[in-house]
């Protein structure tokens, strides 16, 4: 268990920095997306001459923003979940159910990561409609998203294994990020 705890600590540290970096970049992407949309509104309604590219750029920025923050949401349980069944179970059964669900999520995330890599590779065959950029660079957000979620899932699975078969106090939750400043 000591080796697993050390590996878990390394993975937690890596994930903490990776997720903080992703959240910091996501704020910039949101600002760029809003700026792009406001630019299009100005051109369309003030100058009466819509630009051809802002909608597609804003969509690409939104996809990347989502890809960079999804793992943070997953790590801290911010996704919608139906947990009333698990809460009715006794402690050990609760942890075993959580282990099963994390293992199942690991399988699903591995498959999604694999499919996202294929999707990214196919993206080199097409270009964005309104600007000259291979769609692969937009589609790269999906492997980044599922890859980071996979790392977070492994972290959560190891932590839950430690809590189930070891001392739960040895496997605390990682600290939540501050909402006042980007880390």
Once rounded to an integer, what is the mean pLDDT over residues 5-34?
Answer: 95
Conformation bin of residue 175: beta by default, left when phi > 0, alpha when psi is -120 to 50: beta
pLDDT-derived band at 104 (thresholds 50, 70, 90) equals very high
Entry pTM: 0.87
**pLDDT (0 to 100) of residue 179:** 62
Once rounded to an integer, what is the mean pLDDT over residues 109-127?
Answer: 94
Residue 115 predicted with pLDDT over 80: yes
Residue 84 predicted with pLDDT over 60: yes
């Amino acid at each position: 268990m000591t080796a697993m705890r050390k590996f878990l600590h390394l993975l937690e540290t890596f994930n903490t920095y990776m997720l903080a970096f992703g959240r910091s970049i996501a704020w910039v992407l949101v600002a760029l997306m809003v700026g792009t949309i406001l630019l299009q509104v100005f051109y369309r309604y003030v100058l009466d001459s819509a630009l051809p590219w802002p909608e597609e750029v804003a969509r690409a920025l939104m996809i990347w923003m989502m890809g960079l923050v999804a793992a943070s949401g997953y790590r801290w349980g911010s996704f919608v979940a139906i947990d009333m069944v698990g809460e009715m179970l006794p402690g050990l059964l609760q942890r075993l159910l959580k282990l099963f669900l994390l293992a199942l999520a690991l399988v699903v995330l591995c498959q999604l990561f694999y499919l996202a890599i294929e999707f990214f590779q196919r993206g080199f065959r097409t270009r964005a409609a309104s600007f000259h950029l291979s769609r692969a660079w937009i589609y790269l957000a999906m492997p980044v998203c599922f890859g980071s979620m996979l790392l977070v899932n492994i972290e959560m699975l190891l932590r839950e294994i430690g809590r189930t078969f070891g001392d739960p106090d040895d496997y605390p939750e990682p600290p939540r990020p501050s909402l006042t400043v980007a880390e």
